Amino acid sequence: MIQMPIIAVVGSKRSGKTTAVEVLVRGLTKKGYRVATAKHISEADFTIDTKGKDTWRHAQAGAKTIICVAPNELTTIKKVDTAKHDLRVLVEQCENEADILILEGFRRLVSKNPSIPKVVTVKSLREVSENLKFLRPILVFEGSAAIKVEGVKIPKIDVLREPQKLIEIVDKRIGPTIKKRRALKDSLNVQINRKTLSLNPFVQKFMRSVILSMTSTLKEASIKGDENISIKIEQE
């Protein structure tokens, strides 16, 4: 399976990262993409839970996973050490429900990964120069300060003035990958314990042919040959 595309929005504090993420989520969603986001929070004692609430009391009692179910929301809180988490862990949390993952922050993690395009938000020309030294690849510089940069071939925009330009730059980069992923996933999707397996085209075609041939022998089956196949295997 082709890897789910990831876009990282990185920059200094109050440089406009969240605004850029909002623009991307809104614009890509309108284009029909299913968008997942991940936000890095540096505060050591931060918790999304609320002290004194029932879910907080569950955790205080020793629960490592707390699931909160509301009429319009399902939240899972996991009490784990995230210091050793990598991007694979984040992708596994959303790859079956999303077409693209947008990261806000995670600078140290993504700076080591040249396969992840970066949207870099900047407040000054100095920040532009510093990011050019350490980040690859930079898809676009965002911020009013970036507009003034000369001699840099990387696109420069002010998302408050031209949000659509940022959306189109990102869409041009990830759109073809999403289409290929959808085509492959629609053809044959195999999950074991909720993890989607990576299957090359030959294996997909072989498994698909075998499954359709076997299914076509069943009395109640009516096979045309263009069906989507989904297989889920879960341990008891």
Query: Lowest mean pLDDT: which of 26-30, 67-71, 138-142?
Result: 67-71
pLDDT higher than 90, residue 23: yes
pLDDT above 80 for 46: no
Instruction: State whether 30 and 141 are in the same domain.
Output: yes
Do 176 and 192 belong together in one domain?
A: no
Distances, alpha carbon 128 to alpha carbons 139, 162, 167, in Å: 13, 19, 21
Residue 70 lies inside a defined structural domain of this protein: no
Q: Which tops the pLDDT comparison, 39 or 228? A: 39
Rounded distance between C-alpha atoms, residue 98 and residue 230, angstroms: 17
CATH number reported for the structural domain that contains residue 153 in this entry: 3.40.50.300
CA-nearest of 220, 157, 232 to 194 is 232
193 and 112 in a single domain? The answer is no
Reported confidence tier of residue 226, pLDDT bands at 50, 70, 90 = low
Domain that holds residue 170: 6-42+83-184
Q: Do residue 157 and residue 215 come from a single domain?
A: no
Average pLDDT over every residue of 74-84 = 81
pLDDT tens per residue, range 145-181: 878 877 788 999 999 999 999 999 999 999 999 988 7
Domain co-membership, 34 together with 131? yes
Calpha distance 28→173 (Å, rounded): 12
Please give the pLDDT value at position 48.
79
Provide the pLDDT confidence category of residue 119 given band limits of 50, 70 and 90: very high
With contact defined as beta carbons under 8 Å apart, do 33 and 178 qualify? yes
Query: Measured on CA atoms in the order 18, 19, 24, 26, is the torsion positive or negative?
Result: positive
Instruction: Indicate whether 72 belongs to any domain.
Output: no
Confidence grade of residue 205 (pLDDT, cut at 50, 70, 90):
confident
Same domain, 129 and 218: no
Position 138 pLDDT exceeds 80: yes
Does one domain contain both 194 and 158?
no
* Confidence at residue 32, expressed as pLDDT on a 0 to 100 scale: 93
- In this model, does residue 189 exceed pLDDT 80? no
Q: What is the CA radius of gyration of the chain?
A: 22
The answer to whether position 65 is within a domain reads no
Q: Are 127 and 133 in contact (CB under 8 A)?
A: no
How many structural domains comprise the chain? 2
Are the beta carbons of 151 and 56 closer than 8 angstroms? Answer: no
160 shares its domain with 89: yes
pLDDT at site 181: 79
Worst-scoring range by mean pLDDT, 97-101, 108-112, 132-136?
Answer: 108-112
More confident residue, 227 or 113: 113
208 with 169, same domain: the answer is: no
What integer pLDDT is reported at residue 19 of this predicted model? 94
Nearest partner of 139 among 2, 10, 4, judged by Cα: 10
Residue type, 224: K
175 vs 79: which has the higher pLDDT:
175
The answer as to whether 155 is a domain residue is: yes
Task: Look up the pTM and report it.
Answer: 0.74
Is a pLDDT exceeding 70 seen at residue 1? no
Over residues 94-123, mean pLDDT: 88
Do 135 and 158 belong together in one domain? yes
Higher pLDDT, 137 or 3: 137
